Amino acid sequence: MNFTEMWDSSIHSDPEQVKRQKSAVSAKMTPISVDSALCSGSFKGSKSSIYSTTLNSCTCIDFTRRSLPCKHIYRLAHELHQFDLGGPVSSSSSAVLSKSEAMKIITSVLTEDEQKEFGYFCYICKNDNSGEKLINSSFADKLISYNLAQEVTDIPVLLSHLHIKEVRKFLPPGTKSPRLKKELIQIVAPLIHSSSDISFGDQKCLTLHSSIAHLGHALHREICRLYPQEDNDRNSWF
């Protein structure tokens, strides 16, 4: 089914809908990915969230509230050549990779063991960079240099990876430390000016590079397929 069959064409001239079509043309609304076979796409949301969009659904708040095409649905329909936004549409040049493009880089620059470790890292980061992992510095630098990963700069997230004893070192002298790490982080985080003040020794705290952040699960599955694990448990049954 295509866009014109899904929605009564009269709704698109409603002033509220025209507003959303106008928002859809901006460069900020460039999709992270478009799957023309499935007629679906993903878009950057507020903070670091990612919206999944089809021609008749979207995970953003606007669609959840109104059940009418949001700016993401209009932009997706435009990208799939199913709707005319009635004017010039801007795209941001920041490269977003497809799964096959990302896999090409991964398999050509990483060794087999590195690919397996990267596959697990992808699994931790999920499809929206809601996860992060400490990685030894030499491998971390390699991932960063190939735009496969980037350093986490969110201070509370970084602190959560430190031992509570290390977090206490940021407390002003004479301050009593709360027993819970979570509470301690709330006190300490605003006192830290730069993420570079937090050190993990010979490790770095990484998340997927923004150009592939939407692919975490897909890359994990793809790498698992390349290197299936021998199922020792099943053999030991006999």
Is residue 60 involved in binding Zn ion (CB under 5 A)? Answer: yes
CB of 41 to Zn ion, least distance (A): 10
* Sign of the torsion angle spanned by Cα atoms 198, 199, 203, 209: positive
Is 72 one of the binding residues for Zn ion (CB under 5 A)?
Answer: yes
* Contact window for Zn ion (CB under 5 A) among 10-18, 63-71, 119-127, 163-171: 63-71
Residue number, 43 or 139, with CB nearest to Zn ion: 43
Residue 92 Cβ vs Zn ion, minimum distance, rounded to whole Å = 18
Phi, psi (rounded to 5 degrees) for 148: -95, -20
Minimum distance from CB of 71 to Zn ion (Å)? 6
CB of 63 or CB of 118, closer to Zn ion:
63
- Distance CA(201)–CA(185), nearest Å, equals 19
Task: Give the ranges where 25-153 is alpha helix by DSSP (H).
Answer: 61-66, 71-79, 99-109, 112-125, 137-145
CB of 74 to Zn ion, least distance (A): 9
- Quickly count helices (H) and strands (E) in the chain: 12, 7
The tokens describing 127, both together, are 């499809």
β strands within the chain, DSSP E: 33-35, 40-44, 50-54, 57-58, 133-136, 149-151, 203-208
CA separation for the pair 220, 216 (Å, rounded): 6
In the complex, least distance from residue 68 CB atom to Zn ion, rounded to whole angstroms: 10
Closest separation between CB of residue 49 and Zn ion, Å? 11
Nearer to Zn ion, 23 or 98 (CB): 23
Of 27 and 191, CB closest to Zn ion: 27
Distance in angstroms (rounded) separating the CA atoms of residues 42 and 76: 9
Per CB under 5 A, contacts with Zn ion among 87-126 are none
Nearer to Zn ion, 54 or 211 (CB): 54
Question: Which residue, 75 or 209, has its beta carbon nearer to Zn ion?
Answer: 75
Q: Does position 63 bind Zn ion by CB under 5 A?
A: yes
Say how many residues touch Zn ion, by CB under 5 A.
Answer: 5
- Residue 58 touching Zn ion (CB under 5 A): yes
Stretch that binds Zn ion, among 11-19, 71-79, 99-107, 175-183 (CB under 5 A): 71-79
Which among 90, 91, 92, 84 has a CA at the least distance from the CA of 18?
84
Which residue, 50 or 188, has its beta carbon nearer to Zn ion?
50
Establish if 70 lies at the interface with Zn ion (CB under 5 A): yes
Q: Does 74 bind Zn ion (CB under 5 A)?
A: no
Q: Which residues contact 140 (CB under 8 A, 6 or more apart)?
A: 149, 151, 203, 204, 206
Q: Which residues pair with 149 in a beta bridge?
A: 208
Contacts to Zn ion by CB under 5 A: 58, 60, 63, 70, 72
